[in-house]
Chains A and B, each alone.
Chain A
């Protein structure tokens, strides 16, 4: 049973933003509700008003323009796992979306909602960081772009202002020699560790290496220290340096001991996933 709340159904982003500004902390944006309604059922949060933004239809499209893949924040995971554009241009993200939670969560849950709820044990944020994604935040007075790295502040906390909506996720179309992979591990209902790897691989070796770790700590994060271990190396040298990169990434993951495992266990798994993700991406 949920406690009573009033439903608002704005027809525009500006209207939704205005409602957020007017009602402040007593109102919350509501899309798929796959995380929000669970927290409300548990009594962890309560809102007097839910602002249903699913009527904002122009936020559910996947498109490509000027070298950027644009993903509407209201795209459900199911819409993304069935997007041929995503499958062709961002196969690692497409595969990730196929494996979010379960078929019912994918049916209703949105990518935007997943990112904004900022549950530590989630997948997309980690890979989007490694893909240099930018998030578009809009309010009545205008819009701004936030890099994925600047978006995640802490567990359940993003850098969105209280009257901003996440409307779009923008990912640069990868270059031809770009490789990426995301792997996760977990035996509970949510992932315990997630690692994303991306790089350009040509005759000279690995360039622009991006490594991101998620789920183990409070928020996903890029690991520049591990990237430096692999960057500029030949494929073979990089493969030989994976244990070192894995150890660095593990320590940088801010792993916390909890039901998902001890800190040491998660750090170890980070190293394992990094090695496997690298192998999967490099071929």
Chain B
């Protein structure tokens, strides 16, 4: 659709990357944002456009395991990298311990911040499997929730951390 509406001298960048474990190949224009490519062109709407100024974390995606604001990342920047969205967390229908913990411990209400919350928590636990509460709060500082007051989110992440330590 992009090609039909553009001029003959439009610059396209070939984008090849791993998305939730599978190779994706598409052409993007330099100005396309990762969030729009993931949501509108690839149909993965777990990541949300919320503040659009990378302070709230609702658009958090993991690129090579590290959290980025998809709303403020140019799509071509993920070339030759691996991208993880919330849709790619469960394996063969089995929920990730973080997803399970958020359900069991009431870590979400409206759910709008939840995909970003869980992905950020995954990056935290991959970097530091035994975070203190202070370390957890520092890492998760940029993920905002308007519903829960954060207590249940912290409990969910700590519970998931315990589960993940136990099974490794």
- Report A's interface with B, CB cutoff 8 A: 1-7, 33-34, 37-38, 41, 50, 78, 98, 101-105, 107-108, 189
Contact = CB atoms under 8 A, between A and B. Distances in A.
B76 interface: yes
A189 B55 contact: yes
B67 A104 contact: yes
Nearest to A188: B55
Given A4-B31, A6-B30, A34-B72, A104 B13 contact: no
Interface residues of B, number: 30
A14 B36 CA distance: 34
Nearest to B69: A104
Contact of A104 (B31, B36, B52, B142): B142
A60 to B, nearest CB: 15
B100 interface: no
B11 interface: yes
Given A1-B36, A2-B32, A102-B54, 9 more contacts: A1-B33, A3-B31, A7-B30, A34-B54, A41-B72, A104-B67, A104-B142, A105-B54, A107-B68
Interface in B13-34: 13, 29-33
B72 A7 contact: no
A102 B57 contact: yes
Contact of A102 (B30, B73, B141): B141
Contacts of A6: 11, 30
Given A4-B29, A38-B53, A38-B54, A107 B66 contact: yes
A1 B72 CA distance: 10
10 contacts: A2-B31, A4-B31, A33-B74, A37-B74, A41-B72, A102-B54, A103-B67, A103-B142, A104-B67, A104-B69
